C-alpha cells in the first residue's frame, strides 16, 4: 500500500487481508503476510518453500513497475517462472498506449475510440473453489499467526485512536455484498448520472465501491459485467456507471504513459504554475479550519470517514488551488493520499491535475463557490450541522456564512466566530478574482 496512507486506509487494508485469510481457510489454505522488502524476503522464501512459480497482478504505477521488474529478475535468477496478469484495469494499459503510438490519450473521446477497437472488456475469471486448490501444498506451521499473520495497526505505526467509524469495512465479502445491494436498485443503476448526484447527502449518493476497486477487493471486470446484466435503456458514458469505470481507465492509462504524472515539474501535460508556498493556509485547509463551513465540513468528513463525494472533492480541490488559496495541487494530492480510502495513485494525480486547471481541463473561469455550491442541494445546511456540530444551532440563512450573523445570533447559537469557529482565512470574491487573473 502507498507510503502515505493514514490510519483509516491501513485499517481498510488489514480488514481486507483478514477477510482474504478467512476465505482461503474455507478452502484449506491460508494467507501468508510476509514482512520486509520484496527484493530481500522473496529469494529466501523461494529457497525455503521450493517455489517454482510466482504469479502477480500487473501494476502500472512507476514505483511498482520498478519493484516488479526487480522481483521478476530475482525470480529468473532462482529458476522461478513468473506469470503476470492484467486484472486491476479493464484493459491492458500497455496495449492501449501502443495503439496510440506509445502516447497516453489526452481526451476521454480518444480513449473511447481506442477501446472500441479492442472490443468489450474480458469476462472475470471464475471464483476460486476448493477444487482449484487440489494438489496445492500449503506449508502451514503451528506458528503461522506469529510468523505470517495479518499485522495490527500498531505494527504499521498507526494509532488505533486515529481511526474513524468503520462505515466501509475492507474485504471481498463486504465488496460483493455492497455490489449485490446496488444491483437490486435497477432503476437507480440505469438512470445513474454522476453530475446529478449530491455531494451534501448524509448517506452516500454514489456507490462507494472505489475503495474496494483500489484495494483489489472487487474485480473491475466483475463490476463492469454485473452492470451489463442490469442495463436497460440506461444512461451513457461519460456520466453512467460504465462511464465512471472508463474514467478510471483514462487516468490509469495517463498515469502509465505520462512521465512525472504526480508532479508539476517535468510533467509534459501539466501547466507550470507559480503556486504560493503558504503552510498556514495549507494547514487550515487540511484540518478543516478555513472559516468556510462547507469546505471545513467536507475536510472533516474526509478525515473521519475516508470517503467524500466526488463533487465535494471538486469543491475542496478548487478551493485549495485555483479557486481561493493558490496552493499547489501537489500538496492537496498528498493530503488525499493520506486520508482517502480510494486514493489510487493515477486517479488521485489525474483528478488533481484536472481540478487545479493544470491539465485536461482548462475552463479555469469555472470556480466553485465555497458558499453557493453546497446551498444548491442543501439549503438548510444539514451536512454542515452533521460534520461541524459547533455550528449546528446557526439559523439556515447564516450556516454557510456564520461570520455574517449578528453577534446576538452567534451568542444564541453558542458559537462566536473568531473564538469557537475561525474567521474566513481569505475573502472568496477577492481571492478568486485575483487568482483568475493569475490563471489567465
Return binding residues for FAD.
206-210, 244-251, 342-344
Burial (CB < 10 A; 0-12, 13-18, 19+), residue 440, is exposed
Mode of pairing for the β-strands spanning 53-57 and 81-85: parallel
Residues in the chain: 440
SS3 171: coil
What residues form DSSP beta bridges with 56? 84
C-alpha cell at 39: 527484493
CA 315, CA 374: separation in Å to the nearest integer?
A: 9
Residue appearing with cell numbers 504505477: 61
Q: Are 288 and 297 in contact (CB under 8 A)?
A: yes
| Segments in 156-263 forming alpha helices (H) | 172-183, 186-191, 210-214, 220-230, 241-257
CA 179, CA 176: separation in Å to the nearest integer?
A: 5
CA 227, CA 209: separation in Å to the nearest integer?
A: 13
C-alpha cell at 107: 481526451
Binding residues: 206-210, 244-251, 342-344
Amino acid at each position: 500500500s502507498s507510503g502515505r496512507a493514514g490510519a483509516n486506509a491501513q485499517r481498510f487494508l488489514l480488514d481486507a487481508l483478514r477477510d482474504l485469510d478467512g476465505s482461503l481457510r474455507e478452502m484449506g489454505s491460508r494467507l501468508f503476510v510476509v514482512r520486509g522488502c520484496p527484493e530481500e524476503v522473496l529469494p529466501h522464501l523461494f529457497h525455503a518453500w521450493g517455489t517454482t512459480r510466482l504469479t502477480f497482478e500487473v501494476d502500472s504505477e512507476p514505483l511498482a513497475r520498478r519493484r516488479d521488474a526487480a522481483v521478476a529478475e530475482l525470480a529468473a535468477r532462482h529458476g522461478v517462472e513468473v506469470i503476470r496478469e492484467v486484472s486491476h484495469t479493464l484493459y491492458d494499459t500497455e496495449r492501449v498506449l501502443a495503439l496510440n503510438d506509445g502516447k497516453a490519450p489526452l481526451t476521454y473521446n480518444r480513449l473511447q475510440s481506442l477501446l472500441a477497437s479492442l472490443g468489450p472488456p474480458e469476462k472475470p475469471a471464475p471464483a476460486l473453489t476448493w477444487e482449484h486448490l487440489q494438489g496445492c501444498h500449503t506449508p502451514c506451521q503451528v506458528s503461522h499467526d506469529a510468523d505470517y499473520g495479518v499485522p495490527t495497526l500498531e505494527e504499521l505505526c498507526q494509532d488505533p485512536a486515529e481511526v474513524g467509524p468503520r462505515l466501509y469495512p475492507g474485504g471481498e465479502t463486504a465488496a460483493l455484498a455492497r455490489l449485490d445491494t446496488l444491483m437490486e436498485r435497477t432503476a437507480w443503476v440505469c438512470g445513474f448520472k454522476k453530475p446529478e448526484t449530491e455531494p451534501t447527502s448524509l448517506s452516500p449518493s454514489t456507490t462507494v465501491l472505489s475503495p474496494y476497486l483500489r484495494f483489489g477487493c472487487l474485480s473491475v471486470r466483475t463490476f463492469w459485467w454485473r452492470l451489463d446484466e442490469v442495463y436497460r435503456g440506461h444512461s451513457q458514458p461519460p456520466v453512467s456507471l460504465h462511464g465512471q469505470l472508463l474514467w478510471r481507465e483514462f487516468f490509469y492509462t495517463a498515469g502509465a504513459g505520462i512521465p512525472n504524472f504526480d508532479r508539476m515539474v517535468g510533467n509534459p501535460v501539466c501547466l507550470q504554475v507559480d503556486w504560493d508556498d503558504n503552510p498556514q493556509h495549507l494547514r487550515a485547509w487540511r484540518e478543516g479550519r478555513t472559516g468556510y463551513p462547507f469546505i471545513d465540513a467536507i475536510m472533516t468528513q474526509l478525515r473521519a470517514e475516508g470517503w467524500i463525494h466526488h463533487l465535494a472533492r471538486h469543491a475542496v480541490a478548487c478551493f485549495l488551488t485555483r479557486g481561493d488559496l493558490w496552493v499547489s495541487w501537489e500538496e492537496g494530492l498528498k493530503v488525499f493520499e493520506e486520508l482517502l480510502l480510494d486514493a489510487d495513485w493515477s486517479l488521485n494525480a489525474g483528478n488533481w491535475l484536472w481540478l487545479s486547471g493544470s491539465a485536461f481541463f482548462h475552463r479555469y473561469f469555472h470556480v466553485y463557490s465555497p458558499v453557493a455550491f453546497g446551498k444548491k442541494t442543501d439549503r438548510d445546511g444539514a451536512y454542515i450541522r452533521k460534520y461541524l456540530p459547533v455550528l449546528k444551532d446557526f439559523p439556515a440563512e447564516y450556516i454557510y456564512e456564520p461570520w455574517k450573523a449578528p453577534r446576538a445570533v452567534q451568542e444564541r447559537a453558542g458559537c462566536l466566530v473568531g473564538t469557537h469557529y475561525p474567521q474566513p482565512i481569505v475573502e472568496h470574491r477577492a481571492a478568486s478574482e485575483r487568482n483568475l487573473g493569475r490563471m489567465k
